[in-house]
Chain A
């Protein structure tokens, strides 16, 4: 991607035109500059976070020593893991159900299934708050059972995403493959396990990563379901951000950004990224 190329620009080579490159560069700057500044200043040896005063890792040390923050991170990862597990199961079942069967009220079920994706987060958060209050859901259970309310809420908004991704994958399934398996003597279950499941796998993996990220990212819905003993990482960062801009928050944020990049790389590796999107 050299900026100035000598070869003439063909009519449809919009991407190689200078104004287009300037526009894209500007947009990427807009998207990335704040994040890069944030990461850079997590290494800055200054409390006030404005002028560069030299490299330090001490704020990372502070973050790692901050028990409340670490506990929140542990909670977040536990919730994300559990929510992903259940979402895969429920989402895959839902996808197969909608893809395979014709039943009365199907359009209704399909529509309801997509609701958690489109309902504003605030409404969903409020609903969860009200629901668990109405049930008098116990809040003093031992860890990790005390995370159950948040986990349930996360599963509810994650599994429809998994269902959507897996179903999109199922659309490309050639039913003759399953018929061939049965023709060769496979039972219903064997045909599912040997033919349909391997076909769904990329969709399930993509859905799992989506669910994990959504769960790890969620603030609003968690904000309404978490209690004083069940703080998640975003909720903790939120309370820190409300107070002030400090290098410690930068370091904590940078850690989560690195985690995101790591997860994304794994996801891309798993999906043979350049082929999948090309």
Chain B
């Protein structure tokens, strides 16, 4: 990964609007050819960051380099990048082909070359033959493809996409996630996408930067974000999770123990560095907890038997592929457990108010320091 130079280098960038800090001292390197996603809740600064890369907002402090060149003072129309806008921003008074050709015409591309490049771009996004249509004759998905083609035809170093799938319905969005990833793979152009949808981010990205309140909370590949979240914000934002506060009472290289008042002792088969006798948080994903009828807990000496908690089922929601259980622990706290419905009668095994025992493997909990 490190043999390629970063195509975009964001260095200590801060953006303030009046007293409001939208982006707070962010540094990110985006590598050539990768599908990079900025993920975060609304208002976290991800769109502001993208718009600074595009040149529509100017950083209050810090530097943005594209292809090694400082972009300070370079207006958007001279940056080697293009953007797909959230509203698509397809010019409503121009045909599809004219929309795609707009940038090429300004760049002074010759007529014959222009036509072949426009056709190629439309072909690429499966809009071949629709060049003469007007935007108001297209569906939302097609309009988005026009916006994509309009950016790609410029052969930019980087294509920026601002919430590209947010305006599409759920089915179309799932399909476009695959198509976008495949398209990016085919053209080899670096994509930088902003989204608030974690499924979208996890399914498309090479790497994801999770942003919170103007800061990068974690930058990692998708599976690491889920399995090794760096803090409570990321653990909670990506997927569903149970978080318990506790104190680290034993911390050795090969094992550790966290005492959680609301959950009991939690055994881990790995060490936690540098947090002895401080407050920590234990995060356990619902699907990593095994639920058994009360009294049937696994043998104490099995790995999963070391972690046991008891409670009563206080809520169930059947979702088809899985069933979610809301369990009131003896401490009074609720914990969420999910069970896959592997056979057709699995969901009948447990009923409301059943007493249950919960077990989990010592490798499952993640200890978070912040």
**A34 close to chain B: CB less than 8 A:** no
Minimum CB–CB distance from B138 to chain A (whole Å) comes to 26
Minimum CB–CB distance from B86 to chain A (whole Å) comes to 16
**A8 close to chain B: CB less than 8 A:** yes
**B352 close to chain A: CB less than 8 A:** no
12 contacts between A and B (CB under 8 A): A7-B58, A7-B60, A8-B58, A8-B73, A10-B56, A10-B57, A10-B58, A11-B55, A11-B56, A11-B75, A11-B76, A12-B56
Annotate B68-80 by CB proximity to A: 1 below 8 A, 0 otherwise. 0000010110000
Interface secondary structure of A, over-half rule: loop
Minimum CB–CB distance from A234 to chain B (whole Å) comes to 45
* Total number of B residues with any Cβ neighbor in A under 8 Å: 8
- Chain B residues lying within 8 Å of A11, measured Cβ to Cβ, are 55-56, 75-76
CA–CA, A11 and B76, complex, Å: 8
Q: Which of B38-90 contact A (CB under 8 A)?
A: 55-58, 60, 73, 75-76
- 6 smallest CB-CB distances across A and B, nearest first, come from A8-B58, A10-B58, A11-B76, A10-B57, A11-B56, A11-B75
CA–CA, A12 and B60, complex, Å: 16
- Chain B residues lying within 8 Å of A10, measured Cβ to Cβ, are 56-58
Q: A8-B58, A10-B56, A11-B56 are in contact. List 9 more A-B contacts (CB 8 A).
A: A7-B58, A7-B60, A8-B73, A10-B57, A10-B58, A11-B55, A11-B75, A11-B76, A12-B56
Annotate A2-16 by CB proximity to B: 1 below 8 A, 0 otherwise. 000001101110000
CA–CA, A186 and B14, complex, Å: 57
- Chain A residues lying within 8 Å of B73, measured Cβ to Cβ, are 8
CA–CA, A141 and B58, complex, Å: 71
- Chain A residues lying within 8 Å of B75, measured Cβ to Cβ, are 11
Minimum CB–CB distance from B48 to chain A (whole Å) comes to 11
- Chain A residues lying within 8 Å of B56, measured Cβ to Cβ, are 10-12
- Chain B residues lying within 8 Å of A7, measured Cβ to Cβ, are 58, 60
CA–CA, A12 and B75, complex, Å: 11
CA–CA, A145 and B249, complex, Å: 96
Q: Which of B83-127 contact A (CB under 8 A)?
A: none
CA–CA, A32 and B75, complex, Å: 36
Closest to B60 in A: A7
CA–CA, A8 and B57, complex, Å: 10
- Chain B residues lying within 8 Å of A12, measured Cβ to Cβ, are 56
- Chain B residues lying within 8 Å of A8, measured Cβ to Cβ, are 58, 73
- Chain A residues lying within 8 Å of B58, measured Cβ to Cβ, are 7-8, 10
CA–CA, A7 and B73, complex, Å: 12
- Chain A residues lying within 8 Å of B76, measured Cβ to Cβ, are 11
Q: Which of A8-27 contact B (CB under 8 A)?
A: 8, 10-12
CA–CA, A61 and B76, complex, Å: 62
Minimum CB–CB distance from A2 to chain B (whole Å) comes to 14
Annotate B236-276 by CB proximity to A: 1 below 8 A, 0 otherwise. 00000000000000000000000000000000000000000
Closest to A12 in B: B56
Q: Which of A7, A11, A12 has the most CB of B within 10 A?
A: A11
CA–CA, A12 and B57, complex, Å: 9
Annotate B182-211 by CB proximity to A: 1 below 8 A, 0 otherwise. 000000000000000000000000000000
Closest to B55 in A: A11
CA–CA, A8 and B60, complex, Å: 9
Closest to B77 in A: A11
CA–CA, A8 and B56, complex, Å: 12
CA–CA, A7 and B14, complex, Å: 13
CA–CA, A99 and B60, complex, Å: 50
- Chain A residues lying within 8 Å of B55, measured Cβ to Cβ, are 11
CA–CA, A8 and B74, complex, Å: 12
Minimum CB–CB distance from B59 to chain A (whole Å) comes to 9
- Chain A residues lying within 8 Å of B60, measured Cβ to Cβ, are 7
Closest to B56 in A: A11
CA–CA, A216 and B56, complex, Å: 47
CA–CA, A93 and B73, complex, Å: 58
CA–CA, A110 and B249, complex, Å: 81
